[in-house]
Amino acid sequence: MGMLTDKVALVTGGRGGIGRAICSRFAREGAIVYAADLTEGGSLAGPTGDSSFVKLDVTSEEDAKATMARVAQECGKLDILVNAAGIEIEKTIEETSLADWNRIFSINVTGTFLSSKYALPLLRKSGGGSIINFGSYDGFIADPGLAAYCATKGAVHALTKAMACDHGPEGIRVNAICPGYVDTPMLKNFFRDVGDIETLDAAVRNVHPLRRYGTPDDVANLVNWLASDEARYASGQLWVLDGGLTAQVQQMRL
Amino acid sequence: MANRAAIVTGGSRGIGRAIVDRFIADGIEVLTCGRGKRPADLDARIAWVQADVAKTDDAEMIVRTAQDYFGTIGILVNNAGVQLEKTVATTTDEDWELVMGVNARGTFNMCRAALKDMEETGGVIVNIGSVSGVVSDPSMAVYNASKAFVHALTRSIAVDHGPKVRCNAVRPGWIATGMVDGAFALADDPAAAKADALQRHAMRRFGKPEDIANIVAWLVSDQAAFVTGQCFTSDGGLTAASPLQPGLF
């Protein structure tokens, strides 16, 4: 008996690095899984688990409505929404154009808003439900040259608490997970300027108290728990998952 | 400000010395204390008492002595602190007694002794915490925990003893004292280590004791009349950045 047996789940960014791991885990736990993404192949090749692809541009209100209409027709309810779609822009605010700014906010923040807004009627039909947003440790402290990204994640954190307050009385739980360094295409891109992840591997690991960086499966472990009934009293919280990275002061090289 | 007399613990050197010098410059009467004898270079206008804040009797004696000098005491700055570079596994009972005795019980003792009158006459308390009480410095386990105690005690005093008493904490980052140069001297390449450390500060410098004295002076002034129960970080941007800086590998 899986932890999510008979639950219906939808994962945005479901064909990205972390999204695929979440979909696979949900399917193994017995859920009916929709992997929502721009394209069936997504941003990354890899196993999808037993999930149904649904085309979703998270910035599009029409797409959000159509996606939830399909879930309504096929399942009549939604138990779990994971807002995992997101992008990163590696720029300071001076280098960031208004178009850059609007694009990252439209995906990371507006996307979370739209998917959640149109999922709410279906979540109510499940008699409760769990929304899991993607924040980041960058919503608390900054990485250099990631200004707009940091700002979107701070916005997601505040939205998470607001949604938890507004919809808690209906039994809908809302949490955000705030990953640190997770081995994904986005992370590799972040290292592009200073080298590739393989050569930086030891240095990155050594800054972490657990001496490694995260994997998509580490993230899926926490998302799965928050999605399950085991987490039935957990709501409105920001769950940092970073191998201990941000428990530390910056580690000067003495 | 109604009352212009202050007690600053640990004023013999470093941050404490900068605070007492600043108070004197601002026209505040100051008594400071330390476990040793009065430093020869301490400003003659500053009163000194040799005492250990970890001891309840000493804390009460410090407050009584200051009242004998100045009458009503309106300001208390708990700056006295000791540092211990050990993990939990290697910390002895004696280590615990020293660090928690001065940093935690000492702060508590001084607040309790001063509050007896401050509850009636009003007053301002500033405790010196640390960024290490929020995010950890490695191998400083009990020190880090003692500073978190200071932060939580600060909030409780503000909640329990307002409106007469305001209480806030300052969380310094790396403040350049003799200890910092000593740490770099131990590095394989002291110059490279120092350059690396500076790159981790958005302000590209370490803190100065005067930086902390500036914020303490503001917190005890009437400019901060609505400020209570908070902990303020002054660290040149150190803890606003991620611990992982790929550009520094």
Report yes or no: B143 and B92 within 8 Å, Cβ to Cβ. no
pLDDT in tens, A81-101: 999 999 999 999 999 999 999
Say whether residue B137 is in contact with chain A using an 8 A CB cutoff.
Answer: yes
Confidence at residue A110, expressed as pLDDT on a 0 to 100 scale: 98
Whether A232 is in a domain gets the answer yes
Report yes or no: A83 and A131 within 8 Å, Cβ to Cβ. yes
Confidence at residue A121, expressed as pLDDT on a 0 to 100 scale: 97
Contact (CB<8Å) A248/B186: no
Instruction: State the DSSP H helix or E strand holding residue A27, giving kind and residue range, or none if neither.
Output: helix A17-28
Confidence at residue B179, expressed as pLDDT on a 0 to 100 scale: 65
Contact (CB<8Å) B246/A204: yes
Report yes or no: B228 and B162 within 8 Å, Cβ to Cβ. yes
Confidence at residue A196, expressed as pLDDT on a 0 to 100 scale: 67
Q: How far is A178 from chain B (nearest CA, A)?
A: 13
Whether A225 is in a domain gets the answer yes
pLDDT over 90 (residue A199): no
Is A197 or B161 the better-scoring residue by pLDDT?
A: B161
pLDDT over 70 (residue A60): yes
Report yes or no: A49 and A26 within 8 Å, Cβ to Cβ. yes
How far from chain centre, in Å, is Cα B3? Answer: 21
Structural domain that includes position B61: 5-179+207-236
CATH of the domain at A64: 3.40.50.720
Confidence at residue A180, expressed as pLDDT on a 0 to 100 scale: 93
Rounded Cα gap, residues B35 and B10, in angstroms: 8
Whether B242 is in a domain gets the answer no
Whether A197 is in a domain gets the answer no
Rounded Cα gap, residues B6 and B145, in angstroms: 27
pLDDT over 70 (residue A201): yes
Whether A226 is in a domain gets the answer yes
Whether A155 is in a domain gets the answer yes
Q: Which residues of chain B neighbour A193 with C-beta distances below 8 Å?
A: 246-247
Is B247 or A131 the better-scoring residue by pLDDT?
A: A131
pLDDT in tens, B171-198: 999 998 766 777 787 788 888 888 999 9
Confidence at residue A197, expressed as pLDDT on a 0 to 100 scale: 63
Whether B80 is in a domain gets the answer yes
Whether B12 is in a domain gets the answer yes
Confidence at residue B30, expressed as pLDDT on a 0 to 100 scale: 98
pLDDT over 60 (residue A145): yes
Confidence at residue B177, expressed as pLDDT on a 0 to 100 scale: 79
Domain count, chain B: 1
Whether B68 is in a domain gets the answer yes
Say whether residue B197 is in contact with chain A using an 8 A CB cutoff.
Answer: yes
Whether A49 is in a domain gets the answer yes
C-alpha pair distances (Å), B238 with each of A45, A141, B43, B200, B219: 38, 10, 33, 6, 22
CATH of the domain at B117: 3.40.50.720
Structural domain that includes position A226: 8-183+216-237
Give the residue from chain A lying closest to B198, CA to CA: A252
Residue ranges of chain B whose pLDDT lies below 50:
none
Contact (CB<8Å) B131/A204: no
Q: Which residues of chain A neighbour B195 with C-beta distances below 8 Å?
A: none
Say whether residue A251 is in contact with chain B using an 8 A CB cutoff.
Answer: yes
Whether B84 is in a domain gets the answer yes
Confidence of residue A249 (pLDDT cuts 50, 70, 90): confident
Contact (CB<8Å) B241/A190: no
Whether A38 is in a domain gets the answer yes
Whether A162 is in a domain gets the answer yes
Stretch 118-137 of chain A: residues touching chain B, C-beta under 8 Å? 137
Domain count, chain A: 1
